[in-house]
Structure 1
Amino acid sequence: MTTTEVTTLPANGDVSTWTPAEKAIADAAGLVFTHTYGDRQGQREPAPRAVVEKFLALSRQSGLNPLSNQIWCIGRLSKGRVEWAVQTGIDGFRLVADRSEKYAGQDEAEWMTDKGEWVDAFIPKLHGGQPLAARVRVYRSDWDRPAVGVAEWGAYVQTKRDGAPTEMWAKQGAGQLAKCAEALALRKAFPMDLSGLYTSDEIAAAPEQHVEVAGPSRDWSAEIAAAATHEEVEDLLDAADDAGERTEAVRTAAMTRHGMLGEPTQPDEIVVEPEPAAEAPAPDVAPASPADLSDADWLAQAEADVLRNGGQP
């Protein structure tokens, strides 16, 4: 298959490395979901990296260009969370087949009436409200037999909440069903290039495209709740930011913990204890008068005086 490299797409799903032009392309390709009601009305939620990587891989695999509306990503709000799916149009499928250089055309669509007959033109007034099924045969130059796609009405019709067909399916149900059958046949004929891709017409019957999104590397909220100081809380916030995991829940946990810790404390004041006052020297005591001494004490004092005077009396 000869493909044209989509050079306008980002090289990978790391948003931090994208140029402003690449971010605009991702936005145009549907990789940013805008909430339209509720508490989050107006908020923009980018697709997680796993979804972006899948979209980029399928775009390159198929050679389809999101700027030409050949492939895009759709985010749908379901039970409070955004579910993502990669879609294309039937023209994108036809383009992939044509580029393969092995596409040998297809037969016109056929529809089954409520009488079990296949007709090449379904007329509601003639054949009933809607066809039971549609069928398309796609040929490859290197295959002896065609790839046949059969789409049954109940499996593909898109309905509103009350179960009635959507406006497009109510007005052009036969044509919508035929495009589903054609997409099935083309996917059978060119599985290498179209595997994992579904047209917007058949998306209701496509397998759920859940993308496993890796959880955070650490339980930031729990660690923040256990922090003992404001500085620890801020350090954890910085670490979560560096890991690309500073979510709204993490920020809320940090604000809550700051409130629980109260006002940041100032460094302890250094108190200098005064040095104890030096003891005053004992006052000199005048020697006792000789008259107050006994004979023995007088003699001892006299001998001490002689010794202090170098032996001289």
Structure 2
Amino acid sequence: MSAVMKQDDNTPAISEAALVEVLSSSLYPGAEKNSVVMVLAYCQAAHLDPMLKPVHIVPIWNSKTKKMQDTVMPGIGLYRIQAARTGQYAGISEPEYGPPVTAKLSGVEVTYPEWCRVTVKRQMSNGLVAEYTANERWIENYATASKETAAPNAMWKRRAFAQLAKCAEAQALRKAFPEVGSAPTADEMEGKAFEEPARDVSPRQHAQPEPEALPAYSDDLLTENIVKWQPLIDSNRTSPEHLIATISSKYTLSLAQIEKITNLKALDGDAA
């Protein structure tokens, strides 16, 4: 990133260090300076005004490194901005909530909506308005107070309905405007952990399980059935190849048995 950031033609340039100080003391108090620098880089790449706080710094537990890791994530405000920029944003419904549930989570009693439904509208190029609905459940989205407890953090306990509504809105906005991206919002990832392990993508030879052996087809049964099959072959109602394929799906035929069935060819002049 440039050491000097120019706001516009009428605003004097401000150094990156000064801007980091401003953001650290106002919008991101207590955040590490390196994390605020990541915010500036994110906003510069996406042509966003960092003073509007379109993104958040979210501490996420990294199960691989066994420590909290600051991560820059979009806020619900950024999704709204990007949807509005398309010129096709046609509004959003009021959140609909499922029945309230009262439960104890790690000894903490909390009342929350079972689910929340939000619909985002987008005006298509043909003039029609399409609706995109998302239904999110509180129990699948809430943030815990720590990784050692199932109790919700203070925000999700105090604003159980409003927090879930933001998650449902974010999902609906992603459905309606896929061009805004697929990254989860800060509200959706708060209190979550990076669980995906590193993957080895090098090609490997995996041992395939041995197929279960089919039972052998008895010679007595073959002798009995040949008498029945010959008229069917003579009248073109079946063929030796079809018989072999059918039997082989359930039994194992010996080479001698396959030869006997193959020799059941209709004689010239016998076919119907």
Distance 1:193 1:174 in 2: 25
Q: Give 1:70 deviation, angstroms.
A: 2.0
Please say which structure displays the higher CA radius of gyration.
1
Q: Which runs of 5+ in 1 are unaligned?
A: 1-5, 9-18, 36-43, 116-127, 213-313
Q: Which residue of 2 aligns with 1:153?
A: 138
CA distance in 1, matches of 2:175, 2:6: 28
TM-score, normalising length: structure 2 = 0.50
Unaligned runs of 5+ in 2: 8-12, 102-109, 199-272
Secondary structure of the corresponding residue to residue 187 of structure 2? coil
- Paired residue for 1:21? 15
CA distance in 1, matches of 2:89, 2:191: 26
CA distance in 1, matches of 2:23, 2:145: 26
Count of matched residue pairs: 172
Offset at 1:57?
Answer: 4.6
What is the identity percentage for the equivalent residue pairs of Structure 1 and Structure 2?
27
C-alpha contact 1:84 1:209 (8 A) present in aligned 2: no
* 2:52 is the counterpart of 1:68: yes
Listed one character per residue, the Cα deviations across residues 116-171 of structure 1 (whole Å, up to 9, x for unaligned) are xxxxxxxxxxxx92111111110111165322222111111112133222222212
The question of 1:135 aligning with 2:121 is answered: no
1:204 Cα deviation from its structure 2 partner = 3.2
Matched, 1:94 2:61: no
1:56 aligns with 2:44: no
Q: Equivalents in 2 of 1:172, 1:47: separation in Å?
A: 27
Note the C-alpha offset of 1:87. Answer: 2.4
Contact 1:55 / 1:86 at 8 angstroms: preserved in 2? no
CA RMSD of the aligned region, Å? Answer: 4.1
Cα distance in 2, alignment partners of residues 106 and 192 from structure 1: 18
* 2:96 counterpart of 1:113: no
Q: Does 1:46 align with 2:34?
A: yes
Identify if the C-alpha distance between structure 1 residues 33 and 91 changes in structure 2 by more than 3 Å, giving closer, same or farther: closer
Q: Tell whether the 8 Å contact from 1:33 to 1:47 is kept in structure 2 after alignment.
A: no
**1:178 matched to 2:178:** no
CA shift in 2, pair 1:192/1:26, >3 Å: farther
Q: Give the aligned partner of residue 153 of structure 2.
A: 166
Check 1:29–1:57 CA distance in 2 against 1; reply closer, same or farther (3 A cut).
Answer: same
Q: What amino acid does structure 2 have at the position aligned with 1:106?
A: I
